[in-house]
Structure 1
Amino acid sequence: MSEVSQFDTVTKAETTPDTPQPFAELGMKDDEYARVREILGRRPTSAELAIYSVMWSEHCSYKSSKVHLRQFGEKAPETDALLVGMGENAGVVDVGDGYAVTFKIESHNHPSYVEPHQGAATGVGGIVRDILTMGARPVAVMDALRFGPADAPDTQRVLPGVVSGISFYGNCLGLPNIGGELGFDAGYSGNPLVNALCVGVMKHGDIKLAQAPGPGNHVILFGSTTGPDGIGGASVLASATFDDESQAKRPSVQVGDPFMEKLLIECSLELFAKDLVVGIQDLGAAGVSCATTELAAGGTGGMRVELDRVPLRDHRLTPEEILMSESQERMMAIVEPGKLDDFLATCAKWDILASVIGEVTEVTEEEAARGGRLVMTWHGETVVDMPPRTASDEGPVYERPLARPDDLDGLQADDPTELERPSTDAQLREQVLRVLSAPGICDPAWVTEQYDRYVLGNTVLANPHDGGMIRITDDGDRGVALATDGNGRYTRLDPYAGTQLAYAEAYRNVAATGARPLAVTNCLNFGSPEDPAVMWQFSESAKGLADACLQLGTPVTGGNVSFYNQTGSTAINPTPVIGVLGVIEDVHNRLTSSFSHSDEGAKIFLLGETREELGGSAWADIVHGHLGGLPPQVDLVAEASLGEVLADGADNGLLASAHDLSDGGLAVALAESSLRGGVGCEVKLGEEPFLALFSESAGRAIVTVRADAEGAFGELCARHGVPATPIGIVGGTDLALTHANGEIRIGLAELRTAHESTLPQIFNASR
């Protein structure tokens, strides 16, 4: 064999069938490796093994979740709004006037623990490229974050780095961060959740797909060079349980360059506008392995690639390392020969490196039946010869064992109704302040003010309001609103109902802006799929979301599953994060969550029914450290009716503000609305002030009604069957809460100190 063929070629693989291979170290099981050998009819080369190991990883193949995710399609509601559904880089929905919106949420949990700044930054970069790949201009980002206790040393290390990574990358790209969540719980110690969402806007005709049609078309890699950063990131970090050696996996974390990504965005959009590409894919998890196999599988099924042509940052990289590298800011395009010069000239204009690395090929009927044919060479010799669909679409599918958690009956029986409740107004006052100042409930401005919320000039709503809202064009009034929500306590107590509650809260938050909910994305964060209890939680959660979306007519457009979120044998609370997108025809009608001085004297109405529901509540958790009982009841019909009232009330100018009730109940909602507008309120709590303040019954919101609209609003609520109870008025400088036997009065200055000082005290002190 010649000197240049000392690496592992197909010829060598055919003649050395017994050569040991490190498949287990790459995360493959014995039976998976055996199946690869069966597909190929020989042992894989090192390069082929690299491709299958990353493409069949949990992160890329969804091998443990596919059987449950299918119901999002099987139960999908009928709607003309869905233009592109699951299976592409992101879903696309029609938002009217010839415009479409694409949005998606994904996780970067494990990398953000190992290297917080770069892990979070590249999470933003990756989701932005997913949106760009659909042919859209990215217009906004959001993030849903969960950490361990705020004052824990681990959180002191991880949170500032994650926040700096998100702000650095998003701010450099010039994308507004319009919302999200910030939560703290001991269960996330050592395993934070960093879920990033991006939304983009396009015309209907601008939609691009991940496909490689047209034999003879060029395969072009453009963007950054390929280096050793992120090698094996998808399989090494995102598809394995954390342990004490996790910190040693720093090489598996990608390194981002937002300035290169900004150039890549503008270059790609010009390429799209000039109609210079027929297929496009970003290089995220699994890098070249993913882009080539998915593009080939989505087209004719044939592709030939010369790995020597891949521009390298480190020329010592082997073929398998090139294939597994997750270097950021890279894209792969399929380009017709007649448009090659224009493509390369456009890239040169933006100072983007572009290299032709291969071409689309014909496949025979026999090859097509086997899943196509992907051939890759290195130094003139073949190192990959495989059917690409077997890697991208035909990976292993597991029906993991399911078992209801052994401790669940005991948890549900441990009802919080027996917990000691405040018996005096002084105690009630103290607990209002205690809940309001707790990390996860308190003002997240220490985090969110590090993000630019208004760059690009089309932000209509952003933190701290219930949802973010973007005007979709510079010269139009149409907008979209988004919200993400999830409650791990609820889902731990009942994964089916807990997931529906997360969906309902996001749906309600979007409606509270005045928008009408239209579609859903999700990021499902769970422990190890090899644990039957975790898989039972996952199956119940997926079923709950599918059933809820079917009932309320909002299709799941895509999303992400993140397994192995646990440290050792301790899994996080199951945390499905649900993103809902809604449409508003005129952003001038949007609602904020703030009481306003201009509306002093306006009546405050509580919409919905309040019941004794404290299971998984913020009060039980913060005041007593308790988790038990059942979460609040789910009434999706009531949620839909409430959404109609809020959207109609906004459209018709009946409402001055709206704020949903969720964590912390009425106490937190009233305090937040008062603080956000700088004006107090006077509210009557009735006979049971404790339950009135801290119950977390779902399907509720507080609204302020314009003085001349009370009659019309009452008719609107009656028409939709939504209970509307007048509870007080806007005005004054206190949060004044009266009840049958007394009064609680907290000045706005004291309220603000409690709500706003927690995170600065914790994290500024740690610097």
Structure 2
Amino acid sequence: MPLAPSDRELVVDELGRDPTAAEEALFENLWSEHCAYRSSRPLLSAFASEGPGVVVGPGDDAAVVALPVPGTETDDQTRYSDTYITMGVESHNHPSYVDPFDGAATGVGGIVRDTMSMGAYPIALADSLYFGDFDREHSRYLFEGVVEGISHYGNCIGVPTVSGSVAFHDSYEGNPLVNVACVGLLGEDRLVTAAVQEPGNKLVLVGNGTGRDGLGGASFASEDLAEDAETEDRPAVQVGDPYTEKLLIEANEELVGDDLVRAARDLGAAGLGGASSEMIAKGDLGAEIELDRVHQREPKMNALEILLAESQERMCYEVRPEDVDAVREIAGKYDLGCSVIGEVTEDRYVCTFEGSESRGRETVVDAPAGFLADGAPMNDLDHVEPEQPATDLPDPAPDLRAAFETVVGSPNTASKRWVYRQYDHEVGTRTALRPGDDAALVAVRESAPVDAAPGTGLAFSAGADPNWTDVAPYDGARAVALENATNIAAKGAHPLAAVDCLNGGNPEKPDVYGGFRGIVDGLADECADLDVPVVGGNVSLYNDSEAGPVAPTPTLAMVGTKAGYDAPPAAFAGEGAVLVVGDRALEGEAVPLGGSEYLARHGGTDAFPEPPRNNTAFLRALADVADHDATRAVHDVSHGGLAVALAEMVTGDAGADVSLGGDAHRLLFNERVGRAVIETTAPEAVAAAVDGVAPVHEVGTSTPDGTLDLTAGDESLSVDVADIRELRSVIERQME
């Protein structure tokens, strides 16, 4: 995609001349939607990104947040430790359509290097994946390749994938979404940022040799996918080498630990040109870079190729001159390439290249770094506000058994065990609660104030639901935020911070941009209501194909904390009362079915159920209930409704006998968020904890017979756990 005429005119005015070929290509990539957020940045100020624990907010490779001292997580007494985590998320959508294995794998590699560039060690990954209809062979092909790519890269580098989500929706048929989040760990004294610090310091490139893979990846990610993208755009897809990444992780740990790094940036979008110009711009300084000094793995690369190649497993460091030899020594120890490619100067970003003796050394880039990195003009786009659909429910409605089997057996609500069993989710010995629950729980022992005290349990949840945001972008995005927060509270943790990955179609289409604006505002409003700062994120637009635009998809990755690493499971123990908290439908409210898997499977439309407001007290109460000694299980109610939540809790020998009054289908299949099912031996303690905060209903008992007996209104059914397990194994049956 060439530089637009209006952009080229701005560049010519700034430079006072026509740009060189390398400059034009560099501006094209750095001013692309993927890098410059030209259509989304005007909207992102809606997010509240500051908070008492936020150390580094949006704008760097990853955000940095201080962990609360264990036991002080509640709002009125929180104290923060000098143990920090990083949070980052990125998309690799277009590459994963063209080459699902390498596209997804390099997405993992990129977000891990974003973590490293802050001085952190990566400790946990989450992947949120979106594909076309599961019944389509091409969707399953992409699904299989993406999961294989993620598992291969993550397993090889030794970073556990502990959380995430998978959704199937028609809008992703020609453009899947692959969103990957990473959490890293560091101490206060190890923090590094991307801003260069001092003229005279050297710029050092460490890692793999530069090749021609990934050329133009940033501009490629800012275009609609064409019908022939799988063949024509393959050169824009990077190729990963996880074994080198593992070496780079360990080398980075040593470089930071030895205080050899002044600033750092990983080489991602727009390659060396992107990373180095952004570092210089953030430091408000300049640089002189000799491109031919970059170590290369392919012969006769020209200046533009060296500047923009998105070859993986590379880092750019600012290093004091007296520390260069020590950096070289550590790079050599890990068998990594190392090049001193230039130095920090007072002003201007200058790249030179000596391609041949006859031409001598040429200046191929000479521009203000701030203009390169931040000079792209923002887009002022028209939008159309989305409208809620009318109520048009299936008539006649399916009987309760048919509805239950269809919804519980949908790929969207079915078990994702086929996915996460391919991931090594226990490497690193931190995983206290494995994938398959509401949220993962990761042990951060370093935060303990004394050796004998418990450390921090870090709850980690990530995902979105395209059914919700396709019907109602604003309220659907609010529901995404509340659902992730409820997942965390259900494990006894208190939400701390979040990062988002905002995916949408072509923003130049008013209806698409209207939906995108809706998910931004909805996510921002609900996170502010929850007092959860959104400390960073990623935007991916132009996710269009011959099949049309994707549904507006606001992936949210949220973390929360608690003292210690114990949490109640989502599965019934078979020994207590079953309670539902936060469910207004059980109060007699006619909650709509819009955005539900029930309507997705049976047809029909309805309004989306507006999420409740002012949920912080509810989440605190739910976290307290989860940590109560009498609590045996806690599980949020969301995707698929109460029917799916109960089916997921019936495992092994444990079952439940549940009775509800009212409209069976609305009670069991509405997907209003902000609810949870609790198994407890002390129901009065739950009632006391949520008194005045949320409604609570005792709806039955858990049983030791492995059967779900369910009565709702004048309908009832009894389903054996073996039959539920068979219903929920649809993905495993099809993929194996």
Does the TM-score normalized on the shorter chain lie above 0.5?
yes
CA distance in 2, matches of 1:573, 1:137: 34
1:286 aligns with 2:270: yes
What letter corresponds to residue 622 of structure 2 in structure 1? L
CA distance in 2, matches of 1:607, 1:547: 20
Deviation at 1:419, TM superposition (A): 4.2
CA distance in 2, matches of 1:397, 1:381: 32
Q: Would the aligned equivalents of 2:581 and 2:694 in 1 still touch at CA under 8 Å?
A: no
What letter corresponds to residue 418 of structure 2 in structure 1? W
**Residue by residue, what CA displacement relative to the aligned partner does 1:587-606 show, whole Å, maximum 9, x if unpaired?**
12x22211124xx2444344
**Counterparts in 2 of 1:263 and 1:739: CA distance versus 1, 3 Å:** same
Q: Alignment partner of 1:497: what SS? A: helix
- 2:383 is matched with 402
Q: Would the aligned equivalents of 2:104 and 2:149 in 1 still touch at CA under 8 Å?
A: yes
Deviation at 1:742, TM superposition (A): 5.0
CA distance in 2, matches of 1:494, 1:150: 23
Normalising by structure 1, report the TM-score: 0.90
**Residue by residue, what CA displacement relative to the aligned partner does 1:35-61 show, whole Å, maximum 9, x if unpaired?**
111111111111111211111111011
The correspondence for 2:442, drawn from 457, 470, 480, is 470
- 2:29 is matched with 54
1:174 aligns with 2:153: no
**Residue by residue, what CA displacement relative to the aligned partner does 1:549-583 show, whole Å, maximum 9, x if unpaired?**
22221111111111011113711111111121111
What letter corresponds to residue 390 of structure 1 in structure 2? F
1:421 aligns with 2:397: yes
- 2:362 is matched with 381
- 1:367 is matched with none
Equivalences for residues 728-743 of structure 1 within 5 A: 728-731=700-703, 732-739=705-712, 741-743=714-716
1:393 aligns with 2:382: no
Q: Would the aligned equivalents of 2:173 and 2:547 in 1 still touch at CA under 8 Å?
A: no
**Counterparts in 2 of 1:743 and 1:300: CA distance versus 1, 3 Å:** closer
What letter corresponds to residue 222 of structure 2 in structure 1? S
What letter corresponds to residue 611 of structure 2 in structure 1? V
CA distance in 2, matches of 1:541, 1:739: 34
CA distance in 2, matches of 1:443, 1:225: 41
Deviation at 1:535, TM superposition (A): 1.4
CA distance in 1, matches of 2:553, 2:172: 10
Q: Would the aligned equivalents of 2:350 and 2:363 in 1 still touch at CA under 8 Å?
A: no
**Counterparts in 2 of 1:171 and 1:432: CA distance versus 1, 3 Å:** same
Equivalences for residues 505-584 of structure 1 within 5 A: 505-568=483-546, 570-584=548-562
The RMSD of aligned alpha carbons is: 1.6
Question: Structure 1 stretches of 5 or more lacking a match?
Answer: 1-24, 364-371
**Residue by residue, what CA displacement relative to the aligned partner does 1:696-730 show, whole Å, maximum 9, x if unpaired?**
2221110112x2x3333221111x52111001111
Q: Would the aligned equivalents of 1:595 and 1:678 in 2 still touch at CA under 8 Å?
A: no
Q: Would the aligned equivalents of 2:174 and 2:546 in 1 still touch at CA under 8 Å?
A: no
Deviation at 1:131, TM superposition (A): 0.9
- 2:421 is matched with 449
- 1:747 is matched with 720
Q: Would the aligned equivalents of 2:118 and 2:191 in 1 still touch at CA under 8 Å?
A: yes
Q: Alignment partner of 2:18: what SS? A: coil
Q: Give the % identical residues.
A: 38
CA distance in 1, matches of 2:181, 2:653: 31
CA distance in 2, matches of 1:526, 1:739: 39
The correspondence for 2:238, drawn from 234, 254, 277, is 254
Deviation at 1:678, TM superposition (A): 4.2
**Residue by residue, what CA displacement relative to the aligned partner does 1:516-539 show, whole Å, maximum 9, x if unpaired?**
011111111100011111111122
The correspondence for 1:324, drawn from 284, 293, 308, is 308
- 1:104 is matched with 88
Q: Would the aligned equivalents of 1:375 and 1:386 in 2 still touch at CA under 8 Å?
A: no
Q: Would the aligned equivalents of 1:605 and 1:728 in 2 still touch at CA under 8 Å?
A: no
1:715 aligns with 2:688: yes
Q: Would the aligned equivalents of 1:289 and 1:324 in 2 still touch at CA under 8 Å?
A: yes
The correspondence for 2:606, drawn from 619, 629, 635, is 629
Q: Alignment partner of 2:698: what SS? A: strand
CA distance in 2, matches of 1:438, 1:489: 13
- 1:351 is matched with 335
Q: Would the aligned equivalents of 2:284 and 2:370 in 1 still touch at CA under 8 Å?
A: no
Normalising by structure 2, report the TM-score: 0.93
CA distance in 1, matches of 2:576, 2:654: 11
Give the total of aligned pairs.
707
**Residue by residue, what CA displacement relative to the aligned partner does 1:56-105 show, whole Å, maximum 9, x if unpaired?**
11101101111001222xx44x5211111011111111113321111122
**Counterparts in 2 of 1:221 and 1:623: CA distance versus 1, 3 Å:** same
Pick the structure with more helix per residue: 1
- 2:226 is matched with 243
Question: Structure 2 stretches of 5 or more lacking a match?
Answer: 69-80, 356-360
What letter corresponds to residue 413 of structure 2 in structure 1? I
Deviation at 1:749, TM superposition (A): 0.9
- 1:16 is matched with none
- 1:88 is matched with 60
1:296 aligns with 2:280: yes
CA distance in 2, matches of 1:115, 1:603: 47
- 2:44 is matched with 69
What letter corresponds to residue 330 of structure 2 in structure 1? T
Q: Would the aligned equivalents of 2:504 and 2:550 in 1 still touch at CA under 8 Å?
A: yes
What letter corresponds to residue 63 of structure 1 in structure 2? R
CA distance in 2, matches of 1:519, 1:308: 42
The correspondence for 2:167, drawn from 183, 199, 202, is 183
Equivalences for residues 211-222 of structure 1 within 5 A: 211-222=195-206
- 1:612 is matched with 591
1:659 aligns with 2:635: yes
CA distance in 2, matches of 1:739, 1:614: 16
- 1:501 is matched with 479
What letter corresponds to residue 683 of structure 1 in structure 2? V
- 1:35 is matched with 10
Q: Would the aligned equivalents of 1:54 and 1:232 in 2 still touch at CA under 8 Å?
A: yes
- 1:310 is matched with 294
- 1:6 is matched with none
CA distance in 1, matches of 2:396, 2:117: 54
Q: Alignment partner of 1:636: what SS? A: coil
Q: Would the aligned equivalents of 2:622 and 2:690 in 1 still touch at CA under 8 Å?
A: no
Equivalences for residues 136-155 of structure 1 within 5 A: 136-155=120-139
Q: Would the aligned equivalents of 1:108 and 1:123 in 2 still touch at CA under 8 Å?
A: yes
Deviation at 1:346, TM superposition (A): 1.4
CA distance in 1, matches of 2:653, 2:632: 15
CA distance in 2, matches of 1:232, 1:204: 36
- 1:485 is matched with 463
**Counterparts in 2 of 1:741 and 1:419: CA distance versus 1, 3 Å:** closer
CA distance in 1, matches of 2:473, 2:665: 27
Equivalences for residues 646-685 of structure 1 within 5 A: 646-675=622-651, 678-685=653-660
The correspondence for 1:703, drawn from 678, 702, 708, is 678
CA distance in 1, matches of 2:713, 2:136: 42
What letter corresponds to residue 81 of structure 1 in structure 2? G
Deviation at 1:653, TM superposition (A): 2.8
- 1:158 is matched with 142
CA distance in 1, matches of 2:445, 2:325: 32
CA distance in 2, matches of 1:216, 1:43: 30
**Counterparts in 2 of 1:62 and 1:543: CA distance versus 1, 3 Å:** same
CA distance in 2, matches of 1:419, 1:390: 60
Q: Would the aligned equivalents of 2:394 and 2:602 in 1 still touch at CA under 8 Å?
A: no
CA distance in 2, matches of 1:252, 1:330: 17
1:118 aligns with 2:91: no
What letter corresponds to residue 646 of structure 1 in structure 2? L
CA distance in 2, matches of 1:375, 1:355: 15
CA distance in 2, matches of 1:712, 1:211: 52
Q: Would the aligned equivalents of 2:489 and 2:626 in 1 still touch at CA under 8 Å?
A: no
